[in-house]
Amino acid sequence: MLVSRYLDVAEDSIRPNVSGIRLLQDPSLNKGTAFTLEERRRLGLEGLLPPHVSSMAEQVQRVLANVRSQSSDLHRYTEMISLLDRNETLFYRVVMDNLEEMMPIIYTPVVGKACQLYGHIFRRPRGLFITRLDRGRVRDVLRRWPHRNVRVIVATDGERILGLGDLGANGMGIPVGKLSLYTACAGIHPACTLPIALDVGTNSAALLDDPLYLGMRERRLTGPDYDDLVSEFVAAVREIFPHAMIQWEDFANHNAFRLLEKYRDRVCSFNDDIQGTAAVALAGLLSSARLTGTALKDQRVLFCGAGEAAVGIANLVVDALKAEGLSEADARRHCWFVDSKGLVESSRRDLQEPKKPYAHPHAPACDLLSAVKELRPTSLIGASAQRGQFTQEVVVEMARLNKRPAIFALSNPTDNAECTAEQAYAWSDGRAVFASGSPFGSVTYKGATFVPGQGNNAYIFPGVGLGVVVSEAARVIPEMFLAAAHTLAGLTTKKDLDLGRLYPSLSEINEVSAAIGVAVAETAYARGLTPEPRPEDVGRFVRDLQYKPVYKKYV
C-alpha cells in the first residue's frame, strides 16, 4: 500500500533516536522552545532551553519579527535558511502561512542573489555534491544521505542558473529552494526530498578567481566525461532511490534538451525549465484567451528568445492545439521565434536542432520590432533572459495590433524581465494582459488598478511532483503538463481576470497544487503508468498524503 511506503500520515507521535543536544541539532526533530516540560525531562533537554514553553504561534511571531526587521532581502533569505537548518517544521509553518511574503524570499527573485554569493553566505551544507572525483563511487555518495525514502530529487549542474549564467556549485541554492516549494506548496514531506549539485566545474573566471568559491576550481567537464558522470548518477539514483523522480534544473540549452530526451523514457524525470515553464505559460495563454474572448487556436505567439524555456512553451502549445484538432504542422505555425540573430525562419542555416521545427518560410527580420510588425502576433512571450527587450516601441505596436495584447515578460530574476508591469500597462494605455516570471506589485494607471499575474513555475512543478509521488508513476509524460496547465487555467476565477491577473493568488497555491496533483495522478492511472490501483476518491487520497507542518508528540 502506497501510504505505508511513502509516509505514515496517521502518525502523530514518534520516538526520536537521539536526545539532549543532538536532538536540538537535528532540524527534522527539533521543536526548540516548543518542547513540553515532560518532553524536556524525558529527552534530556532540561537546562538546554529557556524555561518558557512556547506555542508554535509564539515561535512564528518571533520568526516573522526577526525576518521583517532585516535590512535587506538577502539577509531575510539567510534568516529563513538558518531557520530551516535548525527547525524544519517551524520553517514550513512560517512559509505556508505567509506564502506570498515568503516565496520571493526563499526562491525567486532573492535566491538568484543568494546563489551568486553562495560561498560568501554559506552556513551549513544542504543536499549532496557530486563531482568527477566521485566517478565509480556515486552510489556510495547517495548512500550517505540520511533519508532512504527519497521521492523527489532536484539536480542541477549550475551552468544556467535563472538568467544569471554559469554559477557552478553555487547553483545548489536552486535545488534547495525548489524543494522547499515542493513541500510548502504541494505538501511533499521534506524527508522525501533531496537537492543535488552535479559539480562539473565552472567556466566563470570570476568564480574561479574567488577565494571563497566552494566548488571544483576547474573548467567544466564536457563530452564523454560529462555524460559518463551523469549516466552513473542516474543509475545510482535508480538503485538507491528506486521510487525517486528527478527534476533536471538549470542546465544549459546544449545539455537540457539532450538529457531530457535521453532519460525521459528510462527514468522518472522531467525538466522544469522546459516543461514546467511551458505549463505555466500555456495556462496564462488559456486565461488570456478567456479575458480577450478568443480561442487558443486564434492566437499567434511570438517568442523573444529561443532557448529551452521558449521552445518548451511552444512544444506544449502545439500539444494543446493538436488536442483541439489541429495537425502538428498547422499547430507549429502558430508559434514564431526571434533569437539573438533575428527571426527564426527557414532560410537560416545556423539553427540548433530544437528551433528547426519552428523555422517557417518567411522573409528575414532583423529584430523583435520588425518581427512584430510583420507577423502581427496576438501574444508576445519573453524568455530571453535579457532586460528591456520589450521596448516602448514593441509594446506600442502590440497595442496597435491588438485590443488586448498579451505581454508575458517571463525572464528571471526581476532585473532580467523583458519589461516591467508598469511599462506594459503604460505603453499599452492600460490594455495589456500582463504576466511576469518574477513578482511585480499592483499598478495604478489612469485610475484603474491592475494586479499582474506571476507566471511562476511554482504553480506547476510542486503539483506535478505530488501527483507523480502519490500515484507511484513510473514516468513523467507531456500529457501531465497539459493536464496541469488546463487545471491551473481552470482555477483562475473571473475575479482574477477582472483584476488583470491570469493566475490564482499565490495564497491559494496549496489548493492549486493539490488539484494539479489529482489531475497528474489521474493521468498516471489512466495511462497505466503505475502498478498502484486507482483509489476510489483520488482527491481525498492526494490531500490525505500532504505534509502538514505540525509538531509531533515525542514518546
**DSSP of 145-176:** SS-S---EEEEE-SSS-TTS---GGGGGHHHH
pTM of the model: 0.94
According to CATH, where is 3.40.50.10380 located in the chain?
A: 55-267
- Residue 158 DSSP symbol: S
What is residue 2's predicted lDDT score, i.e. its pLDDT?
A: 42
The C-alpha cell of 260 is what? 531530457
Query: What tens digit of pLDDT does each residue of 291-325 get?
Result: 888 899 999 999 999 999 999 999 999 999 999 99
SS3 sequence of 216-232: CCCCCCCHHHHHHHHHH
The C-alpha cell of 36 is what? 513540553
**Mean pLDDT over residues 371-386, rounded?**
96
The C-alpha cell of 26 is what? 537535528
Query: What tens digit of pLDDT does each residue of 323-357 get?
Result: 999 999 999 999 999 999 999 999 999 999 999 99
According to CATH, where is 3.40.50.720 located in the chain?
A: 275-455
**Matching CATH number, 275-455, of 3.40.50.720, 3.30.2130.30, 3.30.70.980, 3.40.109.10:** 3.40.50.720
User: Residue 36 burial by CB count (10 A; 0-12/13-18/19+): exposed, middle or buried?
Assistant: middle
Quick one: pLDDT band at residue 8, thresholds 50, 70, 90?
very low
Domain spanning 55-267: CATH superfamily: Malic enzyme, N-terminal domain (3.40.50.10380)
The C-alpha cell of 519 is what? 489531475
Query: What tens digit of pLDDT does each residue of 17-60 get?
Result: 899 999 999 999 999 999 999 999 999 999 999 999 999 999 99
**Residues tagged active-site:** 107, 178
The 433-436 sheet, strands edge to edge: 342-343, 335-339, 301-304, 379-382, 406-409, 433-436, 453-454
